[in-house]
Amino acid sequence: MAFYRQLGVIPPKRHTQHRDENGNLYYEELMGEEGFSSDSALLYHRYIPSAIVDATEWKLPDQTTRPNHPLEPRHLKLHDLFPETIWAETDVVTGRRLVLGNADVRISYVVSTEPSPLYRNVVGDEMVYVESGEATVETVFGPLEAKAGDYVLLPMATTHRWVPKSDAPLRAYTIEANSHIVPPKRYLSKFGQFLEHAPFCERDLHGPTELMQVEEENVEVLVKHRTSQGIVGTRYLMPHHPFDVVGWDGCLYPYTFSIHDFEPITGRVHQPPPAHQAFEGNNFVICNFVPRKVDYHPLAVPVPYYHSNVDSDEVMFYCGGDYEARKGSGIGQGSISVHPGGHAHGPQPGAYERSIGVEFFDELAVMVDTFRPLELGEGALACEDAAYAGSWNRNAGAAK
């Protein structure tokens, strides 16, 4: 982001001496993207940020996937993955169950009431959508408050942990990239400011407003990283707590963004998914479907037309409202639909006709479109509704 922020105490000139009241030097850390060629932040630590006492293996949850073969549309009922006996002892980091993935992005789901360990993902950025519940996300940049409907963007290598704020479960839909996750370039000026036609702007992005310092020794931090054999985990033992930052500035930091602050773009006839785009990463996009007035051409059909996106897989996470186009499919709150590239998909039988004359859709969904085929994780195999693929056949009638 080109949206500059500053927090805490920093020197007037970067890469110069910065001392405490006793004359001790603070340690400057540059956290930057794309090898000094993109966004960055400078953080000033009380202790050396690279110091570790030990490094051991952290065994990740099952990361294996299998191809979507035979090629089928699928309905995944994510709420079935976490009965109360499980989520009562689960945290947002170690309890994730992999649902879908490819070489560019992995989608997981978790339900939690427990604080997570300290965690750092150095594979890519994470975008976590909070379906329900509340949490404080403690980060090296400072804490963020997250509630239902919030996206939490955690830049690659941001040390953080999740702390649910009540006994009610925190339901989190996690999108882990192998790249950075940013707004589309078409929303931004050549200098990075949001343009007038963008469906959200800088005022809607909420970064940390205070620092967080913890005085603690021999602290564990879980690190997810890449090797030639795939994604693995390492458990660091650090001599001092990483939350020791006295000040930072720059254009790289975590933030929250509420889906309810996304301003929908509508038209006289049905608008394609790119009109709903919020973010993008390498070979995937994230779109928001929010409550909105729908098509107002006198002969409009408000639900989507049937479409075959031959270059992409479409994943819809249904997280609120009423899903007119999916009536009769079994899809509801907490469902995912997976429509693979090359398979024509669209409304269930009857929805096309029922939508005529409708002026408003009260729906809330997060869509991820990928440009390489997605495979099924163990979570998908554990919660699939096998009847979904045949749901278009029920009461199907000929066009009149």
Check residue 63 and give its pLDDT.
95
Question: Dihedral sign, CA of 389, 393, 293, 186?
Answer: positive
Residue 395 pLDDT > 80: no
Beta strand spans in 60-195 (E): 65-67, 74-77, 97-101, 105-112, 118-121, 126-132, 135-139, 144-146, 150-154, 160-164, 170-177
**Phi and psi, residue 85, nearest 5°:** -65, -20
Q: Which residue has the tokens 């407003």?
A: 209
Let me know if residue 231 belongs to a domain.
yes
Structure tokens at 296: 């107002």
Residue 165 pLDDT > 80: yes
Average pLDDT over residues 126-137: 98
Distance CA(108)–CA(172), nearest Å, equals: 8
Residues 289 and 236 in one domain: no
The least confident of 161-165, 266-270, 365-369 is: 266-270
Check residue 1 and give its pLDDT.
61
Residues 375 and 268 in one domain: yes
Residues 222 and 313 in one domain: no
Residues 127 and 238 in one domain: yes
Residues 65 and 213 in one domain: yes
Residues 215 and 281 in one domain: no
What is the span of the domain harbouring residue 182? 51-244+251-259
What is the percent of the chain where pLDDT is above 90?
82
Q: Of 202, 233, 259, which closes a domain? A: 259
Let me know if residue 55 belongs to a domain.
yes
Average pLDDT over residues 172-189: 98
Residues 303 and 235 in one domain: no
Let me know if residue 390 belongs to a domain.
no
Distance CA(303)–CA(14), nearest Å, equals: 54
Q: Are 313 and 286 in contact (CB under 8 A)?
A: no
Per-residue model confidence as pLDDT tens digits over 210-248: 999 999 999 999 999 999 989 999 999 999 999 999 999
Map residue 273 onto helix, strand or coil: helix
Check residue 400 and give its pLDDT.
36
Residue 267 pLDDT > 70: yes
Residues 233 and 162 in one domain: yes
134 CB contacts (<8 Å, ≥6 apart)? 145, 146, 147, 148, 164, 165, 166, 168, 170
Residue 297 pLDDT > 60: yes
Residues 143 and 224 in one domain: yes
Residues 225 and 368 in one domain: no
Map residue 147 onto helix, strand or coil: coil
Q: Of 227, 259, 291, which closes a domain? A: 259
Q: Are 150 and 94 in contact (CB under 8 A)?
A: no
Let me know if residue 29 belongs to a domain.
no
Per the structure, the count of domains in the chain is 2
- In 3D space, the residue among 163, 166, 162, 131 whose CA is nearest the CA of residue 147 turns out to be 131
Residues 267 and 217 in one domain: no
Let me know if residue 40 belongs to a domain.
no
Residues 214 and 302 in one domain: no
Give the domain CATH number at 356.
2.60.120.10
Let me know if residue 13 belongs to a domain.
no
Let me know if residue 209 belongs to a domain.
yes
Calculate Rg over the CA atoms of the chain: 22
Check residue 286 and give its pLDDT.
99
Q: How confident is the model at residue 309 (pLDDT cuts 50, 70, 90)?
A: confident
Let me know if residue 167 belongs to a domain.
yes
